Amino acid sequence: MRRLMAIVLSIGMLCASAFLYAATSDRAEKISPLPGTAAVRVTKMRAAGVVIEVTDMALKIERKVKDKVEAMEFALEKPLVKIKAGDKVRVSYITRENQNVATKVVADVPQTAIKKAKVPPEVKVAPVVKVPAGK
């Protein structure tokens, strides 16, 4: 009899928790940034290539995709200081109003320029031999 009561109580608690979970998830509302508008998801994309032209408000790179050369133009939010024509760069960008807007521009450092730290060679010291003092 006790076993039957334990089984009935556990099934009842399982059903009650499932009912409460279903009731709260149906009532959950999605919050939009402004009333009356839908939430907009911004997709961040990346491109890498060689800089063709740099101005205060625009960046133009040339990238290679599957043996095809393609030019891309980006609007800049702030002027680039250390980037010049001919540099290899990686650009993180978003599309806003049918225009690519660069959010981050990083100079792509080639692996040959990164030098490994050289370890100085160890100096081998000859072992000291103790000679007994003569009388």
Mean pLDDT by 10 residues, the chain (135 residues): 88 75 48 57 86 91 90 90 89 90 85 54 71 71
Looking at the domain assignment, is residue 65 inside a domain?
A: yes
Dist. CA 105–CA 59, nearest whole Å: 10
Q: What pLDDT is recorded for position 92?
A: 92
Looking at the domain assignment, is residue 129 inside a domain?
A: no
Domain range for 77: 45-112
Q: What pLDDT is recorded for position 115?
A: 53
Looking at the domain assignment, is residue 3 inside a domain?
A: no
Q: Give the chain's domain count.
A: 1
Looking at the domain assignment, is residue 21 inside a domain?
A: no
pTM of the predicted protein model: 0.52
Looking at the domain assignment, is residue 108 inside a domain?
A: yes
CATH no. for residue 90? 2.40.50.320
Looking at the domain assignment, is residue 56 inside a domain?
A: yes
Nearest of 49, 46, 55, 61 to residue 88 by alpha carbon: 49
Asked if 100 and 93 count as a contact pair (C-beta separation under 8 A), the reply is yes
Q: What pLDDT is recorded for position 29?
A: 43
Looking at the domain assignment, is residue 118 inside a domain?
A: no
Looking at the domain assignment, is residue 55 inside a domain?
A: yes
> The tokens of 105 are what?
């521009």
